[in-house]
Amino acid sequence: MPSDADPANWVDRYADYLYAYALNRLDDAELCRDLVQETFLAALERLGEFRGESSERTWLTAILRYKVIDLYRKRNASWLAESRTHEHQPEYFDLETGHWKQEWEPRPMRVDPEDPALQKELTAILKKCLERLPALWYSIFSMKHMDDTATEAICREMKISSANFWVIMHRAKVNLRACLQKEGL
């Protein structure tokens, strides 16, 4: 254990940050609190493995990140079992042209991205739309676009193929767009 490791102060120093990190990815306050506690326990158990090559915060965040990924995997397994009974997905594109079918064609967004008042509202609506995604889609979308995780790493960690990844990303984006339009954007 490096001399600068200070487990006695982890809760005071890092609990709020770790909680916010988890909440941004899971949006379940109780589960996030549990994961932060599990992170601290896991870190205490592995304190001898901490070599001080990164900050304590970075090390703790990495432990929490893997706990979130494990949760995504569990949700993925249950989602796959459930989705096999609900395979129907509307066809959004014309198979001959590859273009949107008229009934699914996206409408232009009516939001000025520079307007701070609208940005706050857009953030709230986007969060609500993200929560409506199936757990697997939300997990993969957030890993890609919130954590900036490489596609290959997501496929490896979630145990999915590259083709499955792109199908899920496409469906997540189509559903997000439809939700945003339904909310008036």
Under the banding of pLDDT at 50, 70 and 90, the label for residue 121 is confident
Note whether residue 91 is domain-resident.
no
Domain count, the chain: 2
Q: Work out the burial of residue 181: count CB atoms within 10 Å of its CB; fewer than 13 is exposed, 13-18 middle, 19 or more buried.
A: middle
Note whether residue 71 is domain-resident.
yes
Which of 55, 83, 111 is a domain's end point? 83
- 58-62, 65-69, 90-94 — which is least confidently predicted? 90-94
Q: What is the pLDDT of residue 162?
A: 87
Q: Where in the sequence is the domain holding 37, given as residue range(s)?
A: 7-83
Tell me if 67 sits within 8 A of 42, measured CB to CB.
Answer: yes
Q: What is the pLDDT of residue 35?
A: 93
Under the banding of pLDDT at 50, 70 and 90, the label for residue 101 is confident
pLDDT tens digits, one per residue of 140-184: 898 888 888 899 999 988 888 888 888 888 888 888 888 887 876
DSSP, collapsed to helix, strand or coil, labels residue 183 as: coil
Angle between the N-to-C axes of helices 135-145 and 56-83, in degrees from 0 to 180, rounded to the nearest 10: 150
Q: For position 35, which CATH number holds?
A: 1.10.1740
Q: What is the mean predicted confidence (pLDDT) over 101-105?
A: 73
**pLDDT above 80 (res 118):** no
**pLDDT above 60 (res 88):** no
**pLDDT above 50 (res 85):** no
Q: Where are the beta strands (DSSP E) in the chain?
A: none
Which of 17, 48, 83 is a domain's end point? 83
Q: How far apart are CA 37 and CA 57, in angstroms?
A: 14
Q: What is the pLDDT of residue 184?
A: 66
Which of 54, 83, 112 is a domain's end point? 83
Q: What is the pLDDT of residue 77?
A: 62
**pLDDT above 70 (res 134):** yes
Q: For position 119, which CATH number holds?
A: 1.10.10.10
Q: How far apart are CA 18 and CA 21, in angstroms?
A: 5
Residues 162 and 118 in one domain: yes
